[in-house]
Amino acid sequence: MVDYLRSPERYRKVGARIPHGVLLSGPPGTGKTLMARAVAGEAKVPFFSVAATEFVEMFVGVGAARIRDLFERAKKVAPSIIFVDEIDAIGRQRSSNLSVGGNDEREQTLNQMLVEMDGFEANESVIVIAATNRPDILDAALLRPGRFDRRVEAALPDRNGRLAILKLHASKVAMGPDVDLEGLARRTPGFSGADLANVINEAALGAARDGRDKVTQRDLEAAYDKAILGARRRFALTDQDKQRVAVHEGSHALVAYFLPGADPLEKVTIVPRGRALGVTQFSEDDCFNIPEHYVRARLAVALGGRAGELVTLAEVSSGAENDLEVATNYARRMVERWGMGEKLGPVSFPRDGASPASQLGFPSTSPALAEEADHEVQRILKEAEKTALETLTKHRAALDALAKALVERETVEKSDVDMIVAEAERAPTTSAR
């Protein structure tokens, strides 16, 4: 594309038809806007950047007029690039003829964009680059050949990509000799480029706030914790709450510690952060294809806190609210999207808004099938809870010892968990993995 914008005549001589539209899709913060700017910068052509939300107004016809004006300006200085951010604001799939109502302004704006893209002459070197986080909800007319027929996925970076991004942002900051960027890259799967930039900046802010002229590993750790856990809250738990939170978080940690296939434990803390009274951190690997045994282990870990409260305190608390939400969402994905249900088997349920029936306000699946899916979800969750209960009952001595250590120290690293478990069970200091 860059080469075409630089030398369009070479391609016209051969008779090649260059795509007029490119769709960049991917999670927020993965650099879609930066990629579009980079293409324009490399090609040295004018760059028109707009957000699709700017076209949607209260008065019908305003958005369409703005689209016409934008394309006219781009054609006058061609070759050029038009970048439309968050195109799903106007490009969402249009309602079927059977539905009532609709957003006339949004649909008129979308129609005008389709007309403008169809109206490109063969010698007009104007390329439209659009970005979205939700390509699945875009209107099919946008994606047909001749419009946005080229798609580029801006995926979350892998470990090597994260390390390169961290090094790039760290090069602009005074870093101490003890900083371990490779370790940070390993511990940040699922982080976008923007997330990683924020971690480096938070570490620099922390160092400056404490009066240091260089960022240390301690600053990076604090910034990482803040990114995934939220800011530390300054208030004191009662002794009773502290004991319950220690049991809850220690139980998460030990289910993961002893259960094959679970994410490796990193550390556990009962220091309140964000909305959580305590947090158990795991070292997750980049995972692009999730096996069933891993999902089931994750469910058991998620329900481990609640199970630990039952084992040691004989009653549960509201502290498991988020755990239950996460576990239920995973179990429902297993049944409705991944075909891991025992009775339903290989079946995929339509996502919200993806079927014609749901667009008309009707259920996308039959009541009987939905009820059976609910039963499957309940069964999977009960099996996961049973696994957690059995694990913690078997290793009750280790749970009591870890909860006691958390009450005393507030934060326990993985290496300390190894020693606590070994001493409690009178075994060598080795992980049960």
- Tokens coding 286: 């980049």
Annotated catalytic residue: which of 249, 336, 376, 385? 249
In the chain the first and final C-alpha atoms are separated, in Å, by 49
Calpha distance 146→118 (Å, rounded): 7
Query: Which string of b and e fits 211-235 if b means at least 16 CB within 10 Å?
Result: eeeebbbbbbbbbbbbbbbeeeeee
Strand pairing category for 150-153 and 21-25: parallel
Q: Which residue has the tokens 């010698």?
A: 123
Q: Which two tokens stand for residue 290?
A: 């999730």
Cβ-proximal residues to 431 (8 Å cutoff; 6+ apart), any chain: 257, 418
Cα dihedral: 132, 134, 138, 142 (round 10): 30
Residues paired with 324 in a beta bridge:
none
Query: What is 73-110 written as a DSSP string?
Result: HHHHT-SEEEEEESTHHHHBPPPPTTS----HHHHHHH
Q: How far apart are CA 16 and CA 6, in angstroms?
A: 15
Maximal CA-CA distance, the chain? 80
Nearest to 275 by CA among 321, 214, 243: 321
Asked about 249 being catalytic, the answer comes back as: yes
Active site residues: 249
